[in-house]
Amino acid sequence: MKLTGAQMVVEALKRENVEVVFGYPGGSVLNLYDVLYDSDIRHYLSRHEQGAVHAADGYARVTGKPGVVFTTSGPGATNAVTGIANAYMDSVPLVVFTGQVATTLIGTDAFQEADMFGITLPITKHNYLVTDIQELPRILKEAFYLATSGRPGPVLIDLPKDIQQQQAEFVYPEEVNIPGYNPTYEGHPGQVNRAAKAIARAKKPVIYAGGGVVSSGAHELLLKLAETTGIPVATTLMGMGGFPSDHHLALGMLGMHGTYWANMAVHEADLIMAIGARFDDRVTGKLDVFGQNAKIVHIDIDPAEIGKNVKADIPIVGDVKLVLTELLKKVKPKEHKEWLARIDEWKKEAPLRYNQAEDGEILPQYVIESIYNVTKGEALIATEVGQHQMWTAQYYRFKKPRSLITSGGLGTMGFGLPASIGLQIGAPDATVFCIAGDGSFQMNLQELATAVAYKIPIKVAIINNRYLGMVRQWQELFFNKRYSSVDLQKSPDFVKLAEAFGAVGLRAEKPAEVIPTIEKAIATPGPVVIDFRVRPEENVFPMVPPNHAISDMVRGE
- Tens-digit pLDDT string for the chain (557 aa): 899 999 999 999 999 999 999 999 999 999 999 999 999 999 999 999 999 999 999 999 999 999 999 999 999 999 999 999 999 999 999 999 999 999 999 999 999 999 999 999 999 999 999 999 999 999 999 999 999 999 999 999 999 999 999 999 999 999 999 999 999 999 999 999 999 999 999 999 999 999 999 999 999 999 999 999 999 999 999 999 999 999 999 999 999 999 999 999 999 999 999 999 999 999 999 999 999 999 999 999 999 999 999 999 999 999 999 999 999 999 999 999 999 999 999 999 999 999 999 999 999 999 999 999 999 999 999 999 999 999 999 999 999 999 999 999 999 999 999 999 999 999 999 999 999 999 999 999 999 999 999 999 999 999 999 999 999 999 999 999 999 999 999 999 999 999 999 999 999 999 999 999 999 999 999 999 999 999 999 999 999 999 999 999 999 86
Please provide the DSSP assignment of 123-137 as one string.
GSSEEEE---GGGHH
Please indicate whether residue 161 is annotated as part of the active site.
yes
Which residues 6+ apart lie within 8 Å of 60 measured at CB?
66, 67, 87, 92, 93, 94, 422, 426
What tens digit of pLDDT does each residue of 154-182 get?
Answer: 999 999 999 999 999 999 999 999 999 99
Nearest to 93 by CA among 15, 16, 160: 16
Q: Are 456 and 427 in contact (CB under 8 A)?
A: no
Please indicate whether residue 112 is annotated as part of the active site.
yes
Please indicate whether residue 433 is annotated as part of the active site.
no
Domains annotated on the chain, with CATH: 2-169 (3.40.50.970), 189-349 (3.40.50.1220), 364-533 (3.40.50.970)
| Cα diameter, the chain | 72
Please provide the DSSP assignment of 219-262 as one string.
HHHHHHHHHHHT--EEE-TTTTTSS-TTSTTEEEE-STTS-HHH
SS3 459: strand
Nearest to 301 by CA among 181, 399, 140, 194: 181
Q: Are 258 and 542 in contact (CB under 8 A)?
A: yes
Which one of the listed residues 8, 470, 543, 553 is annotated catalytic? 470
Side-chain half-sphere CA neighbours of 539 within 13 A: 18
The end-to-end CA distance of the chain, in Å, is 71
Which amino acid is residue 224, in one-letter code?
Answer: K
Nearest to 435 by CA among 333, 365, 497, 499: 365
Please indicate whether residue 509 is annotated as part of the active site.
no
Per-position b or e across 407-425, b if 16+ CB within 10 A of its CB = bbbbbbbbbbbbbbbbbbb
User: Could you give the CA distance from residue 121 to residue 55 in angstroms, rounded to a whole number?
Assistant: 22
Regarding pTM above 0.85, the answer is yes
- Residue 556: the pLDDT is 84
Q: Are 383 and 90 in contact (CB under 8 A)?
A: no
Which one of the listed residues 8, 16, 22, 49 is annotated catalytic? 49
Q: How many CB atoms lie within 10 A of CB 130?
A: 21
Q: Are 394 and 259 in contact (CB under 8 A)?
A: yes
Please indicate whether residue 142 is annotated as part of the active site.
no
Which one of the listed residues 65, 141, 161, 459 is annotated catalytic? 161
